[in-house]
Structure 1
């Protein structure tokens, strides 16, 4: 059963069925118990009436209760012999004695003897009906040819002749059986109807509740088939779990769309950037093959180097996008900055470096991370500064509380305020740096920010003291233990 509606309807129906069955059984048991107790009370009343008459010395044949067909009565003596029965009693069970014919001659009590004893002045004769709760049993009796079930009450008494008699009086259970049967039949008739109603209502309610889910499923299936991530699933007006699911799904689609768009742009831009040096290198090689004297070896080497750098940048970005974690090796940013600057002493604008005291940090301005990736960040910042500087490039490394700051400043035209976030996007070059020969592929700053973020730091750009660009790399330092 794969349908949620069917499972919900079946589950609710089973739960209601079990609950109704348990409740119905409890009602039947309580009803039967109450009606049985009422029949037992009637039987007890009849038994005590007969016992009271016998205790007063009434003759067995004159017992009034014995004339009632609806309450069969059987009286036995100490030896279990039947001494009296009610009128038309033909058969009885459940009283311990099946006899319905009184013994003959029966030990009939005498009212006259009772009076003589009183006249003698001796102790009054003993007449007592037991006050103990009677014993109850169920049995059957045949009265005037009709057999029925009865509830029998047993009461003991002592006559004035010190004879102990036992009175068994019954009350019919026909009313109890009829009431129980009526209620049971009503329940058996009404239970299926109620279960059908519960199943139908549960099906409809579940169907209505899950209708938005079906809409979400259909829209997701359409998005999967069309590969159009710009579409969104419908969000219901309710504030329940389904509405939250729809909102979360749309948020996921938004992030996925942005990621796919970014990947598509990345692939397109990478293809475009790779096409130029490859095409240039191929052209030079083809010309050199046809006319060796015209082969531009320096140009071919430059294109090859540029192609190598671009491939390395793309590979690093792919690793960063894949979630590659930097190492935890201690890296001295001061020494790293000096090393990068020393390699650029012959450049058009040699950068200057200044390293301040480590302050509260352990060691000389150390951070935890990948030395190779951090060297790539500093190198990219220096490349960008030298590309835009007019006369000077400065690198400073200092401690700022628990962080280490690397600041790269140039005296160029700076970065417009509206472009300060955009320059960190991939393959982005500002209008004054469109030349691929001078401006690069537009990946250096994007790589620098991604590496900084992977190391738990930030990379921002602002205006330098001389009006140029000021790039600030902030990384958490390794504090003294």
Structure 2
């Protein structure tokens, strides 16, 4: 069953069916128990009335046995022989004996001593139940009567009855047992009526539950179908600018639609960046390749005109661009940096020492020599420092300064130039790939716009940050912050570092 609506309707119907069946059985059992108890109470009352008469030593033939067609009565002696039965009682079961003919030789309640106490025939002293303990008077047992279910045939009609058995003792010490029954026809009819109503109403109710569940589920899942259709259309058209419809509700489906649209937005932005990256990379690669080809073709035709330094410069630029693209591809692929120990102070000195021919001198200041170790890839961190120095050299007027210091659990590298600086509104944009400000694009030695993007990506993957702010001298200050190696972080942490903030 592949339909969610069908599964929901079936599940709800099964749950309701189980609940209704369980509740119906409980109702039937409770109803049956209550009606049976009521019949037992009626039978007990009838039995105690006859037992009270026996306790008053009333003769068997004068016993008032109540309504014989409603409460059949059977009185048995100590041997289980019937001594008195209701009129028209033709058969009985469930009372211990099925005999309905009284024993002719059964002794009368008052025949045990041959004397009458003078009030046993009418009970006009007001004690009709005979439960007094006075000498010369019988008693009715106060114990809980015994209850049994059986049948009785009265005047040719057989029915089910609830029998109550009550013992009575005559003044002569004769113990008799009175079995009185109450009909169970009302109980059976009520239970049958309720059961029939349940059997008739249950299927109808289940159909209603299934139908309502189907309609409600269909209505609830209608937005999901709209989302599915729109996603299918987006997949077919490859138009990531489209969005799925968002329902006005605040339920899970609305949150699903919003999350789907957010995912589509991120995917669209990622694809756009990828397309721009490919387009910009193609554009950047085209220039040095075209220049190099032109120079080689000219050199082939006129060797004396070959610009070897220019060809070498274009080759170096092409090599650097290819290396930058390769590093970006590796970073985008999720390559993790190494975990080697790198001394940033020594790395900065090494990188600066290799730039002796730069047009602007670089001043290096390394503080906290013993607290500058970080974990990562030495090659990638060297690439970051090189890119920051290249950017500073490109924009500086007279000087570039590099300060390396420890601050808390971090190592800071500040690269400052005295150039025009970076406008505040452009300070995040310059870290995007292939982004160069107008003045940088106008320079012949301008980069491809990958250096700062690579530097930030590497810094982030090393658990650090790279930001730019205005320098005190009016230029730009790039700050690289990396977490220090845990091995020495605790040793270098202390109040003495606060004096070397260099802000």
TM-score, length-scaled by structure 2: 0.87
Is this contact kept in 2: 1:140–1:150, CA < 8 A? yes
Confirm or deny: 8 A CA contact 1:118 1:124 kept in the other structure.
Answer: no
Structure 1 window deviating more from structure 2 (471-480 vs 5-14): it is 471-480
> For 1:109 and 1:450, how far apart are their aligned partners in 2?
114
Map 1:128-139; keep pairs closer than 5 Å: 128-139=139-150
Contact 1:90 1:145 in 2 (8 A): yes
Q: For residues 105-116 of structure 1, what are the structure 2 equivalents within 5 Å? A: 105-109=105-109, 115=115
1:162 maps to 2:173 = yes
The partner residue of 1:348 within 355, 359, 378 is 359
Say which SS state the counterpart of residue 306 (structure 1) adopts: helix
2:113, 2:172 within 8 Å by CA — same for their partners in 1? no
Residue 224 in structure 1 maps to residue 235 in structure 2 = yes
User: Which stretch shifts more, 319-328 or 73-82?
Assistant: 319-328
- Indicate the RMSD between aligned Cα atoms, in angstroms: 2.5
- 1:94 alignment counterpart: 94
Map of 1:414 onto structure 2: 421
1:398 counterpart = 2:408: no
Distance 1:49 1:464 in 2: 114
Supply the distance in 2 between the matched residues of 1:357 and 1:242 (Cα, whole angstroms): 57
Equivalent position SS for 1:162: coil
Distance 1:62 1:375, change over 3 A: same
Q: Which residue of 2 aligns with 1:19?
A: 19
SS of 2:240's partner is: coil
Q: How has the CA–CA distance of structure 1 residues 139 and 303 changed in structure 2, closer, same or farther, with 3 Å as cutoff?
A: same
Partner Cα distance (1:411, 1:30) in 2: 95
- Give 1:99 deviation, angstroms: 0.7
Partner of 2:246: 235
2:62 equivalent to 1:62: yes
CA distance in 1, matches of 2:41, 2:490: 94
CA-to-aligned-CA distance 1:89-125 (integer Å, 9 cap, x gap): 1111101101111222343345897545679xxx953
- Say whether the 8 Å CA contact 1:393–1:411 is kept in structure 2: yes
Report matched runs for 1:170-189 at 5 Å.
170-189=181-200
Q: Displacement, 1:480?
A: 4.1
1:364 Cα shift? 5.3
Q: Over residues 360-414 of structure 1, what are the superposed CA-to-partner deviations in whole Å (9 max), with x where a residue is unaligned?
A: xx71533222211111111112212222333333333233444333232333333
| 1:300 match: secondary structure | helix
Task: Return the offset for 1:450.
Answer: 1.5
In 2, Cα distance between equivalents of 1:399 and 1:85 = 113
Distance 1:54 1:256, change over 3 A: same
Return the alpha-carbon distance in structure 1 between the equivalents of residues 106 and 112 of structure 2: 17
The answer to whether 1:471 aligns with 2:495 is: no
Q: C-alpha displacement at 1:294, in angstroms?
A: 4.8
Contact kept in structure 2, 1:356 and 1:399, CA below 8 Å: no
* Structure 2: distance between partners of 1:354 and 1:69: 122
Q: Distance in 1 between the 2:265 and 2:336 partners?
A: 26
What is the aligned partner in structure 1 of residue 35 from structure 2? 35
Kept after mapping to 2: 8 A contact 1:380/1:448: yes
Alignment check: 8 A CA contact 2:110 2:170 kept: no
Tell me, yes or no, if the aligned pair for 1:40 and 1:153 is still in contact at 8 Å: yes
What is the TM-score when the length of structure 1 is the normalising length? 0.91
Structure 1 unaligned regions, length at least 5? none
Secondary structure class of the residue paired with 1:427: coil
Greater CA deviation, 385-394 or 423-432?
385-394
Residues 94 and 151, structure 2, Cα contact 8 Å, conserved in 1? yes
Q: Which of 177, 202, 206 is the aligned partner of 2:217? A: 206
Question: Paired residue for 1:458, among 465, 468, 474?
Answer: 465
SS of the residue corresponding to residue 151 of structure 2 reads strand
Q: Unmatched 5+ residue regions in structure 2?
A: 120-133, 492-503
Cα–Cα, structure 1 residues 162 and 310, in superposed 2: closer, same or farther, change >3 Å?
same
By how many angstroms is 1:439 displaced? 0.8
> Once the 2 structures are TM-superposed, how far is the Cα of residue 431 of structure 1 from its aligned partner?
1.8
1:193 counterpart = 2:204:
yes
Asked if structure 1 preserves the Cα contact closer than 8 Å seen for 2:51 and 2:167, the reply is yes
Cα 1:415–1:39 change in 2 (3 A) is closer
Partner SS for 1:438: coil
Distance in 1, matches of 2:91 and 2:364, equals: 124
